Structure 1
Amino acid sequence: MVGACEAQLAYDYYKISCPHVENTVRNAVLGVVFTDPTAPAAFLRLLFHDCQVQGCDASILLGNSEMASGMNFGIRKLQTIHHIKYKLEAECPGQVSCADIIALAAKVSVALSGGPNIQIPLGRKDSTISSLQAADLNIPPPNITVDALLDIFTSKGLNLEESVAIMGAHTLGGGHYKHCGQVIRLAA
């Protein structure tokens, strides 16, 4: 049986109400990527952290509850999502959820990084609640084992292939380490 939230999702959800939503998001993300090449990784991480807590509902954008969690340390590009929402409100007032904007920004980021142009269903609804405790409890810590991470993903309904894809997505972006007291930037 399909759940109530899943039944609302459709590939052509905004076909009538906001037909240019994907182009608007793509153009905004592209502009950010030109000035910040680490942005695609930030958008992908933002989506993961949002979806991991209460589902893909943009609760991460609400106040400081989830963002106060140490598990969300380093989450970026929230202002870009707000900026895209502002642009879409001018184009299609009251139509596009922040949850879909986050998902589309991640989708565009994958494609801009050389990955596939994934088709995703849209129609997510924005949450009205955010929880620090839920973020602390549901976002995997950075030192988690692969087996424990697979257990978390399978409990969310992902199969092995999907779980491995999510873990592999962490290779998108960059990192840094100190060598002889100097910070060296690495790009994946």
Structure 2
Amino acid sequence: MATDMTTTGQAARFSGPARLGALIAAVVLVADQVLKLALLHGAGLTETNGFRLAPFLDIVLVWNRGISYGLFQQETAVGRWGLAALTVVAVVALGVWLSRVRHWLAAVSLGLVIGGAIGNGIDRIWYGAVVDFVHFYVGSFSWYVFNIADVAIVAGAAGLVLDSLRGRSGRQ
């Protein structure tokens, strides 16, 4: 009987919103990794200087050894593995949060952040740096180079801010 209660408790823990968040994390992770592999190995991005998709958009290869916007660049193995360990801790904490969330916006947002963090974490472990490749620019203004995981993390963080600002009048 105790096993049934534990199983039931676990199933209740991952209700609709949490399951949706986990699904979104998986979709983001797969999309991020498939696109990176296709560009690195299929399109030969490591052998070329990239290519232009539009007058304001290039696909280029940048190895980001830091975190967002290239901050805290790490050139040593200790730095690399330190950032990888930080990613694992963050993903576990976000996963616990996701398991407890009951609101759809929070679940979707956490799923985006978790999927993006895992995608960039895999890069850091596998390649020693995060694979960034999307370069937007307008004239002489150049946005930083980023990837799908970065977009998911930023969108997820924005969703979490929006969710925190919403009133909880019983709406899900």
Which TM-score tier does this pair reach, normalised by the shorter chain? under 0.3
Instruction: State TM-score, norm by structure 2.
Output: 0.25
Give the number of the structure whose residues are more often strand, by fraction: 2
Larger radius of gyration: 2
